[in-house]
């Protein structure tokens, strides 16, 4: 199911959106919906990773830089 959302954008953003719609032959709604979805995916991933890191820090479950590099090298077979 989809929902209608109203947003305010600058004149420049509106022009860019219209150019993108022209090149891709997609509607403004489609392009804006995809942009919002991508933004949320990235931001939620980052926020959830930060939250997980903070929980690890509270549990004193941390690794040194050297430990992380050693683990990466081992996984890469270096």
Is residue 2 situated within a structural domain? no
The string of pLDDT tens digits covering residues 39-55 is 999 999 999 999 999 99
Phi-psi region of 7 (alpha: psi -120 to 50; beta: other; left: phi over 0): beta
3 part of a folded domain: no
Q: Which domain holds residue 50?
A: 11-76
Question: Which residues, given as ranges, of the chain have pLDDT below 70?
Answer: none
* Counted domains in the chain: 1
pLDDT of residue 78: 83
Q: Does residue 37 sit within a domain?
A: yes
Is position 6 within any domain? no
| 24 part of a folded domain | yes
1 lies in a domain? no
Q: Is residue 4 part of a domain?
A: no
CB 35 within 8 A of CB 25: no
């Amino acid at each position: 199911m989809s929902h209608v959302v109203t947003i305010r954008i600058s004149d420049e953003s509106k022009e860019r959106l219209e150019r993108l719609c022209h090149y891709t032959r997609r509607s403004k709604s489609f392009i804006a919906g995809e942009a919002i979805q991508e933004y949320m995916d990235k931001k939620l991933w980052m926020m959830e990773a930060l939250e997980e890191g903070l929980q690890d820090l509270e549990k004193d479950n941390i690794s040194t830089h050297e430990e992380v590099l050693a683990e990466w090298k081992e996984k890469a077979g270096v």
